[in-house]
Each structure stands twice: as structure tokens, then as C-alpha cells.
Structure 1
Amino acid sequence: MSPLQPIASREREIFMDVLRGFAILGIFIANLNGFSWYFPESGNTGPWLLPEADHVMSFLHHVFIEGKFYTIFSLLFGWGIALQLKRAAMKNVNAVPLVKRRLTWMLLLGAVHLIIWPGDIVFFYALLGFILLPMRRFSDKTLVITGVILILSPIAIYAAKSYWTILNAPAGLMFETGTKVMKNMNGVTIQTDAEIAAYLKTASWWEVFKVNVSGFFYRYGYLFFVSRVPKVLGVFLIGFALGRSGFYNNIKQHKKTLYIIIATGLVIGLPANYMLARYMSYYMDDYWQLNIKGLFQTIAYALGVVPLAFTYVAIFMLLFQKKRAAGILSVLAPVGKMAFSNYLLQSFIGSFVFLDAGLGYIGEVGPVYYTVFGVLVFIGQVLLSHWWLTYFNYGPVEYLWRSATYKKWQPFKK
């Protein structure tokens, strides 16, 4: 029996790194709304706030960015676990204990990141990864069908919560706990986003740290309320089926499927995302109050976000079959290879630039300028990642994560 070893750099799927790098860009731009604490109704003015242009840009974010990039990340997560188990099976090795250890360290690293940025997805992904593992025994067809059902299930869940408010208890409990923790740790009672933003406007780094501890409970209250668990788990399952089936290795035979995915994303996904943008721009209160327009928003999200995200993936797959396009897109691969390190770096940059303990631009930058800022930071990360991987095999966080997973220090320098 061959011992299971880390996947060598040369064996990595460059395409997956490219896609992961692309996802990192979209996730950062989406997260900048949270870092900036931008509220169009606040009435703030300044050179970094452009009311009309910011409104248009925010609308475009809802159409083309909202939810799409964490969906791509979710697909890659399931895909990656499938490849790891598949390669181990070819060597007649049981990789499940290794994957569990990898998820455990991911959970711990995510917990640390939550203190830096309550909007973290790493901790959440690791938790759901443990749910994914027992479901690996399903056939690929069953995985895809189950995944689609889970992705659409928030529609039924939202409708049920509108009638049986007890179903909101988990989210309500998390929100209440967050308020109590905030009161005990910071000595203030804060319940709305605007109040948190006002508090952070003058908070020190120590006060920010304490806010982020309570932010964990607000974050998971939000995730429960929006039914993020079935959405992400559903995409995990589809990604797992994608990786195990070897779909990407036979793109020529699957071109028709890719064109169907793209057509679905354009014909159904785009209109649904346009409606989602309208509801999120004008009727967000209805969503939180479990009104009928909130149900319509949930339907638009379910029918729009995943199809459009999969359209992005399908387009990248087709482009990557062309040598010239693949060469251009491969510029993103180093960012994707260091995705965890780059994700954490974005959190440090976002916190430093916007929190008052740093540069203090909180509430002063709108979607137009923070989108430009996000792209510029990403370009810097592309350059930094290329330079770093010239001398090292892994990003700093990836190195620690791999070494802990395999219980052995990995070769760091090239």
C-alpha cells in the first residue's frame, strides 16, 4: 500500500487555481461592502461617495457578483475533496482520515480568521465539509439531484418560516446571543448595522476585536436566516460529482452540456438576478420581515445565483481549451494557488483601510471607488503571488495548513 503524500505542485490542476483566483477577486469586491459599511440612506457626502453612480454600481454588484463567487468557491471545495479521495483510491489508500484532519485544521484557521473578519467563510466551509464526507457514497447522479434540491430548498424554507415563526428560532437565538456578548464585552447594546458602523467609527483595535467576537453570533444568525447551509452544501455535492466524474478531463465530449449551462445562465439566471437586484435594492426590509416580496427575492436568488455562477465556470472551461486564452487566464493561477493566504490578506487590508483604528474610511467610500480599490488590490496580489511562488512552494498559510494536515513540515523553499 502506497503512503498518501501531498499533491505535488506540478500535479495541481492549473485551471482550478485560475478559477479560484477569479473567485478571490469577486469575493473581495463583495466583502468590501461589509468592510466599508456603506449605507446609501445615511446621507453622508464626500469625494468617495457618488450617490447616483454608487447606486448603479451596487445594482450591478447584485446582478453579477452577489453570491456568485462564493458559489464558485463552494464548487471548487467539493471538487477538490473529490480529487483528493479519487487519487487516494487509485493508490489503494483511505484518505478520509486525512481529509478530516485537513478540515479540522481548516476549522481552527477559520476560527482565527473570524476574529479578524466576522464575514469569514472558511470556518463555515469546514463545518459543512464534515457533512459532505458521509454523502460521498452517493452516486454522481444522486449527488447532483440532491444538490439541486438543496439549492432550491430555501424557497420552501422561507415560505415555511413565514407561517411558522418558530422555525426562525436558531437565527433569533444567535442574534440575541450576539447582542448579549456585545453588551458584556463592549458595554454597549447594539442591534442594527448602522449602530455597529457608528461604534466602529471610533473604536480601537481592542474594541474591534471584542466586536468581532460577538460578530460570530451575528454572522451565523444571518447564515441561518438566509438558509445558507443547504445552498452551500448543495453546491458542494455538485462540485464533488464534478470532480469524481472526471468531467473536466473530457471537455470535448461535454461541450454540449457546457453550452446548455451557459444558455440556462443567460436565459434564466440573468433575468432572475436582475429581479434579485431590484428586490435587494428596494425591498430588503420585506425580506427580513418575511413578507411576500421577501419570498420573491428568495425565488430570484435560487433561480439566479447558482445558474449564473455555473455559467462563469462553463465559460472559463471553454476558454481554457484555447491555448492563447489559457495562457492569459493562467496569470490568475498563482493567486488561486495561494487562495487562503490571499483571502486572509484581503481581510487585513480591508480592516486596516476602513476601520477607524486604521485609516478610518468607514462609511466614506461607496461601491464605485471600493470596486476600483478591490481591483487594484487584486492586481497587487497577482504580482505578489507570482513573486512569492518564484521562491516558495506554497503560500504561508497553505504551508502551515499542509504541514499540520500531513503531520510533517513540507518543503517550503524551492
Structure 2
Amino acid sequence: MNETCEAMSNRLVTLDALRGFAVMGILAMNIVAFAMPEMAYVSPKAYGGETPSDIAAWALGFVLFDGKMRGLFSILFGASMLLIVDRAEAGGQDPGSIHYRRMAWLALFGLSHYFFIWWGDILFLYAAVGCIAFRFRAWEARRLIKWALALFTLGVVLTSLFFGAQLAVGNAADNPASPMAETGREVRAEYAKIDGEVTEELALYRGPYLPILSARLDTAINPFVGVLMTMFETLPLMMLGMALFRNGFLTGAWAAADYRRTAWRWLPPGVLLTLLVGWLQWRSGFDYLVAVNAFMGWAGPGRLMMTVAYAALLILLIRRAAASAWIVRVAATGRAAFSNYLGTSIVMTTIFYGYGLGLFGDVDRWTLYLICAGMWAAMLLWSKPWLDRFLYGPLEWLWRSLARGKPQPMRQ
């Protein structure tokens, strides 16, 4: 019995610590979207990329963080879904009823986050895709992995074809003899509007709250469009998380040599592919059409490889330092990931938007990493003391209570 409890504890610590690293890592890229116009996240040409130092900061984020921490978070969402299913079944409850109630409330949290706090919400996306992923909960790990890779590849191909066609047509604008020249000029003209949109965003987010809210209400369809645009990335990642939970990878059950082998198999090619995509953007002068192709399509394979490799390396780190005080704090941050994610949005928008400190567009990329590190410290400092006294983070408790229709026990 004690061995079983210890194995369960080790499994949960591994998952919690991975989630802690993921929720902190997501901020390393989101910090740009909090502090600068939206397109600055995709291309430094749009904003915050004037100097070699700025370009170097963009490259660091693109290679090391962009999509990898979000990918890890998506994988862990799939794993957590199965963990809750297993608990429901063990307790004689209907896992479907519990899951869909949780997703319904998560969708409402996500829409509230989008409209009232920050446009970069992923909670609504996770709720929508989580409803689909639940249908695959009984699949064996090997089957989940095969389908996840097939769907992910399909997504990369479709987005690359769609945006690649725009790039090809846009390049035809430079050839007057091309029958696509006129269409190419129209495509280029559409992307040239980005500069004007950047100026509008600077004015909007440096101003008061109500115009920002009004702008979000005018784009109410965006969360739903986001689901369609990223379905073939998010669903495969959740399925992969379900598989890696079932086969013991995410719970630390593999031998250390297997984790090292996984990291060495996927990290070098993932880094090389990501560097290649980054070089193509730099070589184009960060042309908007090239940047969008890179972000939406070309970077996908490298991101996936690096995400899996990161997971393997982090699990090795967590196993080696499981008893250390800092890993305990990272695990606590992961246990309160929902509160930390939404709390980060509140803190960052207060720092950068006009109704707060008004620093939007005024902080360079390197300094943003210092602000990011400060927020990481805040997550690590508050999460453990809170969870020493309470069973859940504040928003975790609220979500759990709403999904179950009654207040849940809170104190330890």
C-alpha cells in the first residue's frame, strides 16, 4: 500500500512540476504579446526589432520557447484529462459528465479572459478541443501516437499550402509578366496594412480600458476562429499527452536511459529545423508573408520535436532534484497553473496597458525577459505557501466547485 501511494505521489509531482515549467515557460513568449502589438510576436519587423540586440532577443525566444512551452502545456492538458477520467472511474462516477462540465466552465473562463483581460487566451481553445480529445480516451498509447502524428502532419501540410500559396502569389507581384502579378500586388497590399494596424494597437492599448473592451467585443468571433486555425496542432498534442500518460513517459516511469535517448533523438533535429526557419525569416528581412508562413506552418515539425525533447529533459531534471526545495516550488506552481496563468494576464496587462502603468510598446525585448523573470519569482513564491494551507489554487477551487455544482473543501 505504501509503495502504491509513493508511486502515485511521484507520478503527480512529475506532472505538477512539468506543468509548472510549462506555465512559466509560456510567459517567456507571451510577454512579447502582452507588451507589444500582436504582430511583434510573429515578426520583429512589425515592432521591437530595430537593432541587432532586438533581433538576437527575438531569435532566442523563437528558437528556445516559441510554441514549445505551449506544446508542453497542451500535452499536459491531455494527460490531466486522463488523470481526472481515471479518478472519476475509480470513484464510481461518470467521467463524461464530469469532463464536459469542466470543459463548459473552462470555455466560460476562457471567453471571460479573452473579452475582459487579454486577447491571447488559450483556455477556450483547450475547452473546445478537449471535448473532442475526450472521444479518444480509451485508445491505446500506440494508436494515439500514430493518429496524433498523422493529424499534426496534416495540419502542417494544410497551413503550409494555404499560406505558401499566399507567399507564391505575393512574390508574383515583382514579375510584371506573371498572370498573377495583379493578385500578388493585392496580397502584398493586404499584408502592408499590418504597419497601420500596429499604429492602431499602440494607440488602443496605451489608452483606457473601455475602448479596449469595445475592440474585443467587436472581434467576438476570434476565439472561435482560433479553434479552427489551430485544431490540427492542439488536438494532436492533447492526444500525444494522453498516450505519453498511458505509456508512463509523463509520469516518470521510464528508465533514465530512455529519456536521454528520446532527448538526443529529437532535440538536435528540432533545433536545426527551427534555426533553418529562423534563418529564412532573417534572410527575407522578416517579410510579413514569410514570417506568417514560418509561424503557422514551417516551424511546426521543429516545435514538436523540441517539445518532446524538452519533456524528456525536464523529467530527468525533476527526477534528479525531486526532493529539492526549488522543484517542490515548481510543482506547487504547476498545481496552481490555472491561477498562475490567469493571474499572469492580470499582472502583465496592468503593467503594460494604459489603464495600468502604460508601458505598452515602450520596453525592449531584453528588458521584457527581466519582467518575465520577476513574474516567475512571484509564481514560485506564492504558490507553495498557499498550497501548504489550501488544497487548491483559488481559481482551481472555483473551477472545481462550479463543475461539481457545490463548494468543494478548500483548507488542508
TM bracket (short chain): 0.7 to 0.9
Q: Give the Å deviation of 1:139.
A: 2.5
1:203 to 192, 207, 224: 207
Normalised to the residue count of structure 1, the TM-score between the two structures is 0.81
Q: Give the Å deviation of 1:403.
A: 0.8
What residue identity is the alignment partner of 2:330? L
CA distance in 2, matches of 1:55, 1:164: 27
CA distance in 1, matches of 2:328, 2:341: 19
What residue identity is the alignment partner of 1:141? R
What residue identity is the alignment partner of 2:214? K
What residue identity is the alignment partner of 1:228? T
Unaligned runs of 5+ in 1: 1-8, 166-188
- Superposition pairs for residues 237-276 of structure 1, below 5 Å? 237-248=239-250, 251-253=253-255, 255-276=256-277
Q: 2:30 is matched with which residue? A: 31
Q: 1:51 is matched with which residue? A: 51
CA distance in 2, matches of 1:76, 1:413: 26
Q: 1:186 is matched with which residue? A: none
1:93-114 deviations in whole A, cap 9, x for unaligned? 4311111111111111111111
CA distance in 2, matches of 1:164, 1:377: 40
Quick check: 1:335–1:385 contact (8 Å CA) kept in 2? Answer: yes
1:222/1:262 Cα in 2 relative to 1: closer, same or farther (>3 Å)?
same
1:34/1:193 Cα in 2 relative to 1: closer, same or farther (>3 Å)?
farther
What residue identity is the alignment partner of 1:84? I
Quick check: 2:353–2:360 contact (8 Å CA) kept in 1? Answer: yes
CA distance in 2, matches of 1:162, 1:131: 26
Q: Give the Å deviation of 1:342.
A: 0.9
Q: 2:142 is matched with which residue? A: 141
Q: Give the Å deviation of 1:127.
A: 0.2
What residue identity is the alignment partner of 1:128? V
Quick check: 2:106–2:124 contact (8 Å CA) kept in 1? Answer: yes
- Superposition pairs for residues 28-107 of structure 1, below 5 Å? 28-37=27-36, 40-41=44-45, 51-107=51-107
Q: 1:184 is matched with which residue? A: none
- Superposition pairs for residues 139-218 of structure 1, below 5 Å? 139-161=140-162, 193-218=197-222
CA distance in 2, matches of 1:287, 1:218: 23
- Superposition pairs for residues 388-399 of structure 1, below 5 Å? 388-399=386-397
1:74-99 deviations in whole A, cap 9, x for unaligned? 01000011122223334554311111
Q: 2:189 is matched with which residue? A: none
Moved more, 338-347 or 258-267: 258-267
CA distance in 2, matches of 1:242, 1:87: 18
- Superposition pairs for residues 243-322 of structure 1, below 5 Å? 243-248=245-250, 251-253=253-255, 255-281=256-282, 282-287=285-290, 294=293, 300-322=298-320
What residue identity is the alignment partner of 1:121? I
Q: Give the Å deviation of 1:369.
A: 0.4
- Superposition pairs for residues 351-366 of structure 1, below 5 Å? 351-366=349-364
Matched, 1:118 2:119: yes
1:284-322 deviations in whole A, cap 9, x for unaligned? 522478xxxx3x766641221011111111011122222
State the identity %.
Answer: 25
1:195-234 deviations in whole A, cap 9, x for unaligned? 332332442111111122234444654664xx42111110
1:202/1:247 Cα in 2 relative to 1: closer, same or farther (>3 Å)?
closer
Q: Give the Å deviation of 1:265.
A: 2.7
Q: Give the Å deviation of 1:375.
A: 0.7
CA distance in 2, matches of 1:192, 1:131: 38
Quick check: 2:252–2:315 contact (8 Å CA) kept in 1? Answer: no
CA distance in 1, matches of 2:245, 2:389: 30
* Secondary structure class of the residue paired with 2:408: coil
2:401 to 400, 403, 407: 403
Q: Give the Å deviation of 1:339.
A: 0.8
Q: Give the Å deviation of 1:149.
A: 1.4
Q: 1:372 is matched with which residue? A: 370
Quick check: 1:275–1:297 contact (8 Å CA) kept in 2? Answer: no
Quick check: 1:223–1:229 contact (8 Å CA) kept in 2? Answer: yes
User: Aligned residue pairs: how many?
Assistant: 371
Moved more, 331-340 or 239-248: 239-248
Unaligned runs of 5+ in 2: 1-7, 167-192
CA distance in 1, matches of 2:410, 2:124: 25
CA distance in 1, matches of 2:368, 2:111: 27
1:324/1:102 Cα in 2 relative to 1: closer, same or farther (>3 Å)?
closer
* Secondary structure class of the residue paired with 2:319: coil
CA root-mean-square deviation: 2.9
Quick check: 1:266–1:308 contact (8 Å CA) kept in 2? Answer: yes
CA distance in 2, matches of 1:396, 1:192: 40
Q: 2:332 is matched with which residue? A: 334
